[in-house]
Amino acid sequence: MKNLVTLTSLLLLLAASGQAQDYILQSNLVKAGVSTNSTMFENGQFIPQGTELPETSLIKGAGLWIAGIDPGGNLRGAINRLNTTDFQPGVLSRVTNQPEGNLHRVWAVKCSEIATHLADYADNGVIDMPQSAIFSFPCKGNYFFSQYNAPDAFLPFTSQTFCGYFDQSEDAHYDPNNGEYPVVEIRGCPLQLQVAELAYTASNDVLATSHPSGMQAMGLEVQTQVFQVNTPTLDKTVFVRYMLIYQGEVPLDSCFVGIYTDFAIGNDQDDYIGTQPASQLMYAYNGDAQDENGLEGQTPAVGVTLLRGPLSPISDIASVELGLQSALAVPDPSGMSPSELYNLLKGRLPDGTASPVGAFAFPGNPANNEPGTEIALGNTPGKRRGLMTMGPFVLNSGAANEIIVAYHYDYVPGATHYEQTQGPQEITQAIRNTFDNCLLDVESECSALTEAPEEFVETGWNLFPNPANSEATLLSKNASFSRIVVTDVLGRTVKELKWDNPVAQYSIPLGDLPSGVYTVQANKQTLPLVIQR
């Protein structure tokens, strides 16, 4: 099997300085940065790639906000204002509620690495060439964790899973040597979700010093999964899943969660903002036809869509999921007091008064000249920052809440700057349809498998086309064969073909097999195959 280069040297955290180090996902038409301190797209790392657009960031950064009131009336929370943040890398002990271990980096894996890993396991039930990206992942009980990470790295002993993984042996421990691999976790969806690229990191708000925001610490751990798919409808999208684990000793009332986005469409001083409340969407677009000193005449629109909100307890055994309660354009939060930040989370102005535009800023469709948009109101374009909030709810000790958002952009050549806003609205519907189906229609897409691993080429074996639809051809330049076995990701035989006279080329019918990742074996050769429809 192809032995891929380790990412360890690229991903180690600058622990001594306390700085966050980025990992850049780039498996579709977005370069997306993720940092270990819970910051997304830090320093402008949401960049179109592989399109007609210049590679200029559309978002300066994005971060998580959360706050609530403890029984003593104290405001507790953690705010990421990008230039300062209340989050630091690492997880919290389930015993002391203090930082534990040194999970201080971003781990990442690509679909091609998972496919190679599965093909390695499928050929003889043994991993002959371990993929460091898979063996290093911080999933529960990973025996190989220290071996594949920094010399002093260790995985805290806990009942939690940390990263999600496909548990083939069903023993509640991650064992990559048994063909197991990291997956995206989404509540209510199967743990077999393969995507084009997945990154994982963890952070917490229990700092050694006071919070920069001035809020009291909560005792919150945030496990972040960032992932991309590469289907045509979602290839300009980045998904972010936050798992919020509250370990504080007292319940917090009147809690609100917010997603803060600092928009920067090229030149960030001439933008507009808008919302589509029914679609749980906030978007930004250029305020005029020309993005001076930025993207010039190419002015895309960028959107943020809420897909999963926090749970609000309605009884001892039941909860209800919350959607957006506000989505507003907000001023620069730098230097704001804790009470002013909390007022923003509640969907109000910093001084606590109601927003003059209501709970949702500038709703309507600029492309249809609807009233209420910034264009219709004649607002002056400028710097735009958005805050999407959910709440109020009670946060009990030990509660785990899942927040999932999608960041996306679109550009239609020849469309006006206000017509570009149609793109985020259409993409939001496609994202929601796919997400509600647990991404099952994209789970086996893996464009990196269009080329066979080097070992197969060197030995004269090839399988094409790959991905395939109804048929794939197996070709051997140096040997003939009279038997082909096709196995699925679990190593189960799903097709076996035999004939009397050996041949050097054979077309394998695939119409009876569903889309997915498979392994094709002939003689002693094993090749990965993707069926994609």
The predicted-structure confidence for 214-233, as pLDDT tens digits, reads as follows 999 999 999 999 999 888 88
Averaged pLDDT, 245-253: 94
Q: Is the pLDDT of residue 501 over 60?
A: yes
Residue 398 and residue 252 in contact, taking contact as beta carbons nearer than 8 Å = no
So what's the pLDDT on residue 453? 37
Q: Is the pLDDT of residue 26 over 80?
A: yes
Cα distance between residue 177 and residue 394, in whole Å:
42
Which residues, other chains included, contact 316 with Cβ-Cβ below 8 Å and sequence gap of 6+?
none
Averaged pLDDT, 356-367: 92
CATH 2.60.40.3080 domain position(s) in the chain? 451-531
Distances (CA, A) of 30 to 50, 235, 345, 384: 8, 8, 29, 21
Q: Is the pLDDT of residue 16 over 50?
A: no
Cα distance between residue 113 and residue 148, in whole Å:
15
Tens digit of each residue's pLDDT (9 = 90 or more) over 257-274: 999 999 999 889 999 999
What percent of the chain stands above pLDDT 70?
A: 90
Q: Is the pTM of this model over 0.75?
A: yes
Within a 13 Å sphere around the CA of 116, how many CA atoms are in the beta-carbon half? 26
Of 67, 507, 34, 55, the residue nearest 240 (C-alpha): 34
What is the rounded average pLDDT for all residues in the chain? 86
Name which residue leads in pLDDT, 493 or 213.
Answer: 213
CATH for the 451-531 domain, from 2.60.40.3880, 2.60.40.3080, 2.120.10.30, 1.10.3720.10: 2.60.40.3080
Q: Is the pLDDT of residue 146 over 90?
A: no
Cα distance between residue 112 and residue 181, in whole Å:
12
Distances (CA, A) of 397 to 190, 202, 219, 401: 27, 19, 9, 12
Q: Residues 228, 230, 233, CA angle at the centre, nearest 5°?
A: 105
Q: Residues 45, 46, 52, CA angle at the centre, nearest 5°?
A: 120
Cα distance between residue 476 and residue 463, in whole Å:
9
So what's the pLDDT on residue 445? 45
- Tokens at 192, concatenated: 């077999």
So what's the pLDDT on residue 410? 95
